[in-house]
Amino acid sequence: MLQLYFSPMACSLASRIALMEAGLEARYHRVNLVTKKRIEDDADFRGISAKGAVPVLVLENGERLTESAAVLQYIADLRPETGLAPPPGHVDRYRLQEWLSFIGAEIHKGFLFPTFWYKDEAAKAARVRIEESVAFAADHLNSRTHLVGDRFTVADAHLTWALLLLRYARVEIDRHPSLVSYLERMQARPAVREAIATESALRKTVAV
């Protein structure tokens, strides 16, 4: 069985969404990102990944994948019939990678990471830059239902998580009607709704 190391409402939420959208069973291991400990047994999480970051997906053969872009594409390819990723060789496959890279670099590492982990000039500079990234995504979605092609992909799972955290960080995405309607559509999906509810409930407990 697949195993996902996660922290509630961290970027690993996108991987949980992808697993549920794909109909894949997995064992979930919660990680405290501050102490770098696995909650279930207080084991050192760095023994699982030296990076000390989620998500980590443990494959059936015991190999481990890290980084959201790689984990999400791997999950999608386990169930190609779901359309969670366009097929290899199709131009939309590269559009998918383009959006996964953009969300990971410009929104996650460019804004969310310094905002939640640092309280200095880097966080202030990130808040200035994020408006351009949000506007870019909003413009792209003005005439689209999904980020890539005409159906839900793992890129949508990733952006859904990012938009939820942007709201929590008081970024005014509500100024962009296309993003508001997009997020409403995504949260109306049963798998997305269940994944968010599960992690929101876990987030209310003491561990990070």
Domain boundaries, position 99: 91-191
3-class DSSP state of 101: helix
Q: What is the pLDDT of residues 114-141, one digit of tens each?
A: 666 666 666 666 777 888 899 999 999 9
Domain end position, chosen among 83, 113, 144: 83
Is residue 106 located within the same domain as residue 65? no
Residue 200 lies in a domain: no
CATH of the domain at 168: 1.20.1050.10
207 pLDDT higher than 70: no
Q: What is the pLDDT of residues 142-182, one digit of tens each?
A: 999 999 999 999 999 999 999 998 888 888 899 999 999 99
Q: What is the 3-state secondary structure (H, E, C) of 111-137?
A: HHHHHHHCCCHHHHHHHHHHHHHHHHH
Is residue 52 located within the same domain as residue 27? yes
Residue 120 lies in a domain: yes
Is residue 107 located within the same domain as residue 74? no
CATH of the domain at 13: 3.40.30.10
Q: What is the pLDDT of residues 11-64, one digit of tens each?
A: 999 999 999 999 999 999 999 999 999 999 999 999 999 999 999 999 999 999
Is residue 141 located within the same domain as residue 73? no
Residue 160 lies in a domain: yes
Question: What would the DSSP string read from start to end of 167-186?
Answer: HHTT--GGG-HHHHHHHHHH
Residue 196 lies in a domain: no
Residue 199 lies in a domain: no
Is residue 14 located within the same domain as residue 71? yes
pLDDT computed for residue 169 by the predictor: 81
Is residue 116 located within the same domain as residue 155? yes
Q: Which helix (H) or strand (E) holds 27?
A: strand 26-32
pLDDT computed for residue 111 by the predictor: 76
Is residue 73 located within the same domain as residue 55? yes
Domain count of the chain?
Answer: 2
